[in-house]
Chain A
Amino acid sequence: MNDARPNNDSRIVLEFRIKGMDFTTAGEAATGIKRTMTQLGMPADMIRRVASATYEAEINVVIHAHRGCLVAKIGPERIEICVEDEGPGIPDIDLAMQDGYSTAPTHVREMGFGAGMGLTNIKRCVDQMHLDSVVDKGTTLRLLFFSKGRE
């Protein structure tokens, strides 16, 4: 599931695989990252922001893409999260970022997803966010969190 790779800077690196339409394992990255942050004694509000954003990002891969990979780099002052997926990509990123915009199919909406609020929620939680996408190839979402509020 996840492993800590040797790296020279003092950061913890966690890696998670995400499978499209696999709702049973969705949330494992958010839970794993939260556990790590708790063991590190990171501030409660930051744990919460990271847990919310990670979960939304994970679920987006589950719902909208085929498969993906989430890498979290956790340092004393900042956390970087990168979610890369293979999937349909997002044709119009500005549109996708709008509140309420969703292409989630009906059966997914019936499960309570697809309000079109995920990306908005992520934006609210992070200090920086970059979304890149190539249609028919995939999407990359980079998130950055600082432990001392927005810098």
Chain B
Amino acid sequence: MADYYHSVTLDAEKCKGCTNCIKRCPTEAIRVRDGRAWIFEERCIDCGECIRVCPNHAKLAVTDSLDLVKAYPKSVIIPAPAFMGQFPTPDPGVVLSALRLIGFDEVYEVALAADAVSMAMRRYLKEHSSPRPLISSACPAVVRLIQVRFPALLDHLIKLESPMEMAAKIAKDTLGPEHGVFFVSPCPAKVTAIKQPVGRDKSAVDGAFSMSAIYAECLRQMEHAARAPLIPKASGYGMGWGRSGGETTIMGRDSLAVDGIHQCIKVFEEVERDKLAGLDFIEAQACVTGCVGGCLAVENPFVARVRVRNLAAERGAHGEEATPGLEQRLKSDYFTYLSEVKARPVLRLDDDISRAIDKLRQLEAVEDQLPGLDCGACGAPSCRALAEDIVRGYADEMDCVLKLRERVHGMAEEIVDLARHLPRSMGMKSHTQQSEDDDGEAG
């Protein structure tokens, strides 16, 4: 397998090299070269910011094809809680039925697993008295952001599996391992979390479909589904996970919800400075409005958020048990991460601190020479990023258009200057005179 899997990819045909995406990237992972964008694989956290901002739809989230289902003797579809927010008057029972009618043997609500994960999280909060605040690990883009930019906060991550992962695990454990489990994903981050998980070697999810594609399939089945709705099992709490604020409702008063990757960064900076130690819990979601704002969702995120909120309120606390023997499983390590979450120090300039210091000094010297306009015309998100690329050997000072212009200007002046000087053989009067005088003296 390649070192890095990413759902976020570029359609080179569509990319115009406009540089719109490079500045939005929270890890400065994108550069424009040869008229198109390139992604530094080791830096990308699959947050989807570039997909949202690209005016040419050149960035996309790769998902699986529905044909994948055929490879399994039986199949289960597991919709993200945000999926219910896509429908104008959501009747969860009808939506679940429509999902199954697309061609699956079973449906298991991720919202139901979210109910169980909520219980596991409250237990985790009680059992781990420090550090504070704990940070939810449900959004994979946020987990990766912490690995890359906030290694000091890895201890704060709640080391419990996401509702998606748990839904797949429970579905396989209760229905049988021959079942292929397929997720209806709101985002590329979840797709990457399935193909290359953090906290475990292999995901229990076998494939991920785009929410918008499944939405279209569902619409075709709605009429039929309305005649035989299924009975939803998740409580309003689990359903609420589809929007920002859903997790904090179950985690008590001393919790904070933040949405949007750039706002998450601001909050994490505060945590790093110990300014939020009075809080128990932070729900952090990379997308504005939470998963309903994922870039594979169909509906306007704010509209979908209200729907999920209302749906959760109507449903209330009533729900079924996510899995037989839940009590026992909560006491075991059924919900916990299997492996350690490690830092991804991809921003460092060198493995050796002294050499990194040398490079940083070079970087700052180069940055001093650049105009400081952060115009992006060089293909890097800022002058400092270009300076970094130069020191890393990826770029050249002449990639800066202003530097180039300065150089061309200088060369043009030199050419004009040179043109003024005529060769001796063509004889400039004063010049000839001078030479004769010299000769005279010598003779």
Task: Give the interface of A toward B (CB within 8 A).
Answer: 3-4, 10-12, 27, 30-31, 34, 36, 38-42, 44-45, 47-48, 51-52, 55-56, 74-76, 121
Given contacts A44-B154, A48-B152, contact A10 B272 (CB under 8 A): no
Give min CB distance, A86 to chain B, whole Å: 25
- The answer to whether A40 touches B154 (Cβ under 8 A) is no
Give min CB distance, A147 to chain B, whole Å: 8
Q: Does B348 belong to the interface (CB within 8 Å)? A: yes
Q: How far is the CA of A41 from the CA of B149 in the complex (A)?
A: 11
Chain A binding surface, main DSSP class: helix
Partner of A12, one of B345, B351, B361: B361
Q: Does B368 belong to the interface (CB within 8 Å)? A: yes
Give min CB distance, B6 to chain A, whole Å: 22
Given contacts A3-B364, A44-B343, contact A10 B152 (CB under 8 A): no
- The answer to whether A38 touches B149 (Cβ under 8 A) is yes
Q: How far is the CA of A39 from the CA of B343 in the complex (A)?
A: 13
B interface bracket (residues with beta carbon within 8 Å of A): 20 to 34
Given contacts A27-B269, A44-B152, A48-B152, contact A39 B361 (CB under 8 A): no
Given contacts A3-B368, A48-B152, contact A76 B272 (CB under 8 A): no
Q: How far is the CA of A75 from the CA of B152 in the complex (A)?
A: 20
What are 19 sample pairs from A and B whose C-beta atoms fall under 8 A apart? A4-B361, A4-B364, A10-B358, A12-B357, A27-B269, A27-B273, A38-B149, A39-B363, A40-B349, A40-B353, A40-B360, A41-B349, A41-B350, A41-B353, A44-B151, A51-B272, A52-B274, A75-B357, A76-B353
Nearest 8 pairs of A and B residues by beta carbon: A41-B348, A4-B364, A48-B152, A44-B151, A44-B152, A76-B353, A55-B273, A40-B356
Give min CB distance, B346 to chain A, whole Å: 10
- The answer to whether A10 touches B354 (Cβ under 8 A) is yes
Q: How far is the CA of A125 from the CA of B347 in the complex (A)?
A: 24
Residues in B with CB closer than 8 Å to A51 are 152, 269, 272-273
Q: How far is the CA of A47 from the CA of B350 in the complex (A)?
A: 17
- The answer to whether B368 touches A76 (Cβ under 8 A) is no
Which of B347, B354, B357, B363 is most buried by chain A, counting CB atoms within 10 A of its CB?
Answer: B357
Residues in B with CB closer than 8 Å to A40 are 348-349, 353, 356-357, 360
- The answer to whether A30 touches B273 (Cβ under 8 A) is yes
Residues in B with CB closer than 8 Å to A10 are 354, 357-358
Partner of A41, one of B274, B275, B356, B358: B356
- What 13 additional pairs, Cβ within 8 angstroms, besides A12-B357, A76-B357? A10-B358, A12-B361, A30-B273, A34-B269, A39-B388, A41-B350, A41-B356, A42-B353, A47-B272, A51-B152, A52-B273, A52-B274, A55-B275
Q: How far is the CA of A47 from the CA of B348 in the complex (A)?
A: 13
Q: Does B306 belong to the interface (CB within 8 Å)? A: no
Residues in A with CB closer than 8 Å to B343 are 44
Give how many A-B residue pairs fall within 8 Å (CB-CB).
74
Q: Does B408 belong to the interface (CB within 8 Å)? A: no
- The answer to whether A45 touches B152 (Cβ under 8 A) is yes
Give min CB distance, A143 to chain B, whole Å: 14
Q: How far is the CA of A30 from the CA of B268 in the complex (A)?
A: 13
Q: How far is the CA of A48 from the CA of B363 in the complex (A)?
A: 24
- The answer to whether B273 touches A47 (Cβ under 8 A) is no
Q: How far is the CA of A41 from the CA of B351 in the complex (A)?
A: 7
Residues in A with CB closer than 8 Å to B364 are 3-4, 12
Q: Does B279 belong to the interface (CB within 8 Å)? A: no
Q: Does B12 belong to the interface (CB within 8 Å)? A: no
Partner of A48, one of B272, B349, B351, B361: B272
- The answer to whether B351 touches A52 (Cβ under 8 A) is no
Q: Does B365 belong to the interface (CB within 8 Å)? A: yes
Q: How far is the CA of A76 from the CA of B358 in the complex (A)?
A: 11
Q: How far is the CA of A74 from the CA of B357 in the complex (A)?
A: 9
- The answer to whether B347 touches A34 (Cβ under 8 A) is no
Give min CB distance, B252 to chain A, whole Å: 21
Residues in B with CB closer than 8 Å to A45 are 152
Q: How far is the CA of A56 from the CA of B350 in the complex (A)?
A: 30
B 255-281 to A, binary, CB cutoff 8 A, 1 in contact else 0: 000000000000001001111000000
Which of A12, A41, A51, A55 is most buried by chain B, counting CB atoms within 10 A of its CB?
Answer: A41
Which of A4, A51, A75 is most buried by chain B, counting CB atoms within 10 A of its CB?
Answer: A4
- The answer to whether B269 touches A38 (Cβ under 8 A) is no
Nearest opposing residue in chain A for B269, CB measure: A31
Within 8 A of A (CB), among B317-352: 343, 345, 347-351
Q: How far is the CA of A38 from the CA of B368 in the complex (A)?
A: 20
Which of B152, B269, B350, B364 is most buried by chain A, counting CB atoms within 10 A of its CB?
Answer: B152
Nearest opposing residue in chain B for A121, CB measure: B274
- The answer to whether A34 touches B356 (Cβ under 8 A) is no
Within 8 A of A (CB), among B344-389: 345, 347-351, 353-354, 356-358, 360-361, 363-365, 368, 388
Give min CB distance, A32 to chain B, whole Å: 11
Given contacts A39-B349, A40-B348, A48-B152, contact A76 B354 (CB under 8 A): yes
